[in-house]
Amino acid sequence: MTRTLRGRLTLWHLAVLAVSLTVFAAMCYAVLSQNLYRHHDDELAHQADELIRALRAVPLESAEIRTALAGTPIGSRFVMIRNNRGELLYRDPVLATSEPNIGQQEALVHSAATAPQAATFFTVDLERSAEVRFICIPLSEPGHYLQIGDPLGDVRTMLRATAIACLPILPTVLLFSGFGGWVIVKRALSPVRTVTATLQHIQATDLSRRVEVHPTDAELGALVSTLNGLLDRLQRSFDSLRQFAGDVSHQIQTPLTILKGELDSALEHPDRPRDEAWLSGLADEIEDMRTIVVDLRSLALADAPLSEAAEVNFTELVREAGDIVAALGELRDVDVQCRADMPVVVRGDATRLKQVVLNLGDNAVRYTPAGGHVAIDLNVVADRAVLRVSDTGVGIPEQDLPRIFDRLFRADVGRRHADGTGLGLAIARRIVDVHRGTIQADSQVGTGSTFTVTLPLG
């Protein structure tokens, strides 16, 4: 039973209910007991006041006490006077025959020997009179105490009967409550079972199904919404992965087809001379495939968690990457300026962060015509490092801006001006995301583009 949530909830419900009922019964018993005893205590206190007034001016001698009490309306025959040693100085004459050993009763002796400063109440089991409620109160003469008793009669019998009557009620209530709790929990968890059944029928090849439970509880509603949101993200991821696999196969298929065609031709015509240009063409196709494989590996590693994030001198890193980009710019007759004068420190992986700068710089040089300019600027804004890579290149169409960070995506304008695998920006975005940063692009066709990377300072 404890292996299921339904069983555990029912057991917890029963445990809480049992404790609550036990506490409630104990409180009821205590209140009833207090009220029953209070009736006797009030009566004893009233009699004690009457007797104290009668004994106020009387010497505490047996004969004088008997005379003083003779004219007093005494409702109890359990009347005694003791000194602070517990010795009996007076007792009602009736007690000599009804309770001959009352003078040595331990509780009565102790109550006077403790020298109470105010009235105290206690219950004593006498030999012949059973349970008697007593009051012990000091008299006006120091060291002397008046004790008056009142038989409890059926008080304890009533309390005992009440306790016995409550005993079968507790398990009965727990039994019915447990059954009710079991049914209620079953109905409450019914949407969860529906969710489980739906998820069990969803396969990785078909993520189109959704949980169609409409629970009235806010918690289950939030759970269903979260699960459906997760399924939406999984479906998008699988669709993207499927498209990505198709795009990669298409990218690799072209050089493989060329290679196979050339090699088949060489096998069919082994005597045909092969010049250096032919071999160079094959090497170019192999290099294209190698570049795609390297970029795919970089993409797979780009969003790996930072196992050991360390402080990185981002200023020095940007300068080193800027020198490499400047060298690439010289080959294409593109002017590259790197401005990283402010000391900036971030936390992360220096190798991956340098790859971001190199990817953005390489893209800027590739898509900038000869005679153009590329600027790499590093600044600090508030508590974030801000890297901007700007160019005067061909720009990116507005409709393509939301997709430029997708894998293997290249804008039509860019394809006419540069080669590449279309993975550079996707790799850069993943690395920036892992470093809790942001990357965005602003561009106008024919004017140029600006890529902005922000990273939290270390």
* DSSP character string of 236-264: HHHHHHHHHHHHHHHHHHHHHHHHHHHHH
pLDDT at 250: 59
Kindly report the CATH number assigned to the domain that includes residue 292: 1.10.287.130
3-state secondary structure of 173: helix
**pLDDT for 416 beyond 70:** no
Most confident stretch, 10-14, 92-96, 332-336, 418-422: 332-336
Residue range 357-379: average pLDDT? 92
pLDDT mean over 223-251: 70
What confidence category does residue 414 fall into, taking pLDDT thresholds of 50, 70 and 90?
very low
Examine residue 125 and state whether it is found in any structural domain, yes or no. yes
Using 50, 70 and 90 to split pLDDT, how confident is the model at 247? low
Tally of residues, the chain: 458
Provide the residue range defining the domain that includes 112: 5-162
Residue 137: φ, ψ to 5° = -135, 140
**Residue 63 or 118, more confident:** 118
Of 110-114, 143-147, 184-188, 312-316, minimum mean pLDDT range: 184-188
DSSP 112: H
Across the range 146-172, mean pLDDT stands at: 82
Pair (152, 117) in one structural domain: yes
The residue with tokens 């024919």 is 446
**Per-residue confidence (pLDDT) for residue 324, from 0 to 100:** 93
Q: What is the DSSP letter of 457?
A: B
> Taking 60 as the threshold, does the pLDDT of residue 122 lie above it?
yes
* Residue 312, CA distances (Å) to 93, 225, 307, 344 in order: 103, 41, 15, 8
- SS3 for 207? coil
356's tokens = 């971001």
Burial 175-192 (b: 16+ CB within 10 A, else e): eebbeebbeebeeebebb
Q: What is the pLDDT of residues 272-328, one digit of tens each?
A: 776 677 777 777 777 777 766 766 665 665 556 666 678 899 999 999 999 999 999
Position 214 scores a pLDDT of 63
* The last residue of a domain, from among 267, 299, 331: 299
Q: What is the pLDDT of residue 415?
A: 43
Do 306 and 451 lie in one domain? The reply is yes
CB within 8 Å of 355: residues ≥ 6 apart? 298, 427, 428, 431
Same domain, 75 and 126: yes
Q: Which amino acid is at 39?
A: H
Looking up tokens 């399924």, which residue turns up? 231
Decide if pLDDT at 417 tops 50: no
Calpha distance 288→256 (Å, rounded): 10
Listed in order, strand segments (DSSP E) in 226-327 are: 310-313
CATH of the domain at 410: 3.30.565.10
Q: Single out the residue in 299, 316, 344 at which a domain terminates.
A: 299
Which is more confidently placed, 1 or 293? 293
Lowest mean pLDDT segment, chosen from 50-54, 55-59, 371-375, 452-456: 55-59
**Cβ contacts of residue 211 below 8 Å, gap of 6+?**
194, 195, 198, 199, 224, 227, 228, 231
DSSP string covering 40-87: HHHHHHHHHHHHHHHTTTS-S-HHHHHHHHHTS--S-SEEEEEETT--
Confirm if 122 and 105 have CB atoms less than 8 A apart.
no
CATH of the domain at 37: 3.30.450.20
Instruction: Return the percentage of the chain with pLDDT > 70, whole number.
Output: 84
Domain annotation covers residue 186: no
Is pLDDT of 90 > 80? yes
φ and ψ at residue 272, rounded to 5 degrees: -70, 135
Task: Indicate whether 367 belongs to any domain.
Answer: yes
> pLDDT at position 184, please?
80
pLDDT tier for residue 336 given thresholds of 50, 70 and 90: very high
What distance in Å separates the CA atoms of residue 231 and residue 321, rounded to the nearest whole number? Answer: 40
- Do 278 and 141 fall within a single domain? no
Euclidean distance between CA atoms 358 and 356, whole angstroms: 5
Rg (CA), the chain: 49
pLDDT of 389 > 90? The answer is: yes
Same domain for 245 and 350: no
Instruction: Tell me the residue ranges of DSSP E strands in 282-410.
Output: 310-313, 335-339, 345-348, 373-381, 384-391
144: pLDDT strictly greater than 60? yes
Segment 232-255 mean pLDDT: 67
Within 10 Å of residue 168's Cβ, how many Cβ atoms?
A: 9
* 372 and 273 assigned to the same domain: no
The two tokens of residue 305 are 């968690």
